[in-house]
Amino acid sequence: MRKLIPLLFILIGCEKEDELILPKNTFSINIDSVLNASGTKSVLFDTNGFYHLKLDSTKNQTLSRVTGTILLNGKEPIPPEKVDWESNLYWSIKSGDTVAIITKSYINYFTGQFTIINLPPLIASKDELVPTSNFASYSGKGGQINNMIAPIYKMKGDTLILKTTHSVSKQIVFTKIVLE
């Protein structure tokens, strides 16, 4: 009888294996708008699918935010998904150029006066190419994706082409922005 019991367990354990079927993941990427520097108003969008960004003539760079969504099977991806960004436009900084002028403001502890001082300017030590777009971002609440672009005023009349690539699905979306 002892020899029969282990044999029964072996026979019971040899059943047909069920096949595990995983659902197919479908990603979708959409660019919703290009916002102005304050982030409140969408840049003009024409019938040809181009955004029109008015560059600020009083500043070197015009900051704008590109917003969109990435969804996994129509829902927010968890964990967040990485999205890569690439622009066709660059500008250059030459060695010796002033990159930034930094001011520091504070209330003087001893006199109680509000004081502003200029720190030495930040000087470029070598020639560099500066992209007009950040390189990557991660999705947030509701699958929202964001990217900052900063074309310079000398690019007026050019068309900035922003390439958005999802790291996993390799899906690509192009956004065209006319710089005016």
pLDDT at 85: 92
Residue 85 and residue 97 share a domain = no
Cα gap 95→93, rounded to integer Å: 7
Residue 97 and residue 169 share a domain = no
Per-residue pLDDT tens digits for 56-91: 888 888 888 888 888 888 888 888 889 999 999 998
Q: Is residue 151 part of a domain?
A: yes
On whether the pTM is more than 0.75, the answer is no
Of 133, 159, 135, give the one whose Cα is nearest residue 61: 133
Residue 85 and residue 170 share a domain = yes
Cα gap 23→122, rounded to integer Å: 53
Residue 41 and residue 122 share a domain = no
Query: What range defines the domain where residue 102 resides?
Result: 92-128
- Count of the separate structural domains present in the chain: 2
Cα gap 150→132, rounded to integer Å: 5
- Name the 3-class secondary structure at 99: strand
70 CB burial (10 A radius; 0-12, 13-18, 19+): buried
Query: What CATH number is attached to the domain comprising 172?
Result: 2.60.40.10
Residue scoring higher pLDDT (22 or 161): 161
Residue 137 and residue 58 share a domain = yes
Residue 52 and residue 109 share a domain = no
Q: Is residue 16 part of a domain?
A: no
> Residue written as tokens 């390439």?
163
Please state whether beta strands 90-93 and 172-179 pair in parallel, antiparallel, or not at all (unpaired): unpaired
Alpha helix stretches (DSSP H) within 65-109: none
Q: Is residue 78 part of a domain?
A: yes
Per-residue pLDDT tens digits for 158-175: 999 999 888 888 888 888
Cα gap 114→111, rounded to integer Å: 9
